[in-house]
Amino acid sequence: MRKWFAVVGLVLVGAGCSGISTTSDWDETYDFSTLATYAWTEQGLEGGVSEIMLRRMYLAVDEELSGKGFTKADVYTADVLLAYHTGTQDQQQYDTYGYGAGGWWGGYWGGGMTTTTVRTYSEGTLILDVVDREKNELIWRGSASKTIDEMASPEERVKTIQDAVSKLLKDFPPS
């Protein structure tokens, strides 16, 4: 279950979008103005994704797309299909601090002491693919990543997911 906290990129740390990084890429020849409907593709629970977190992610994407005028359809008639991919990756941060007597700027190397601490943290990523249903071609891909706060409350997790999805889909569809 721990890995899912990141999973939707999203139990990303803290509230707000400040620590959420997003990127997107799309087929610049595709006419996104013709899109009106979407459907989710069937996917297994990747990486131990909890059903609770999965429902939160689906709801956040559905609400964001609805606000942009899209309607949900079935997989046989939708203009585009949505697929998600999730993952986590451990990162390390090194912090060095200390003091010294003298230093190279004083013309000699002096004694002193430094300490380096290593902090390991997890970063979660959500990748959202938009596929043209008829052509079966990827037309847009976005990703959102953030440090995972494993101590976040359910309310904080919902807010983080909503913020990440909102930031991820901010410029979708591209003009």
Residues 85-104 have a mean pLDDT of 64
Q: Are 144 and 161 in contact (CB under 8 A)?
A: no
Q: Is 99 or 58 the better-scoring residue by pLDDT?
A: 58
Q: Are 157 and 11 in contact (CB under 8 A)?
A: yes
**Residue % of the chain over a pLDDT of 70:** 67
Three-state DSSP at 71 gives strand
Look over the chain and give the mean of its residue pLDDT values, rounded to a whole number: 79
CB count in 10 Å sphere of residue 50: 16
Cα–Cα dist 119/31, whole Å: 46
Extract the runs of DSSP E, i.e. beta strands, from the chain.
Answer: 21-26, 37-40, 71-72, 80-100, 112-132, 137-147
User: Tens digits of per-residue pLDDT, 36-71?
Assistant: 999 999 765 455 457 787 889 899 999 999 999 999
Cα–Cα dist 45/7, whole Å: 10
Give residues with Cβ within 8 angstroms of 114, minimum separation 6: 96, 97, 98, 99, 100
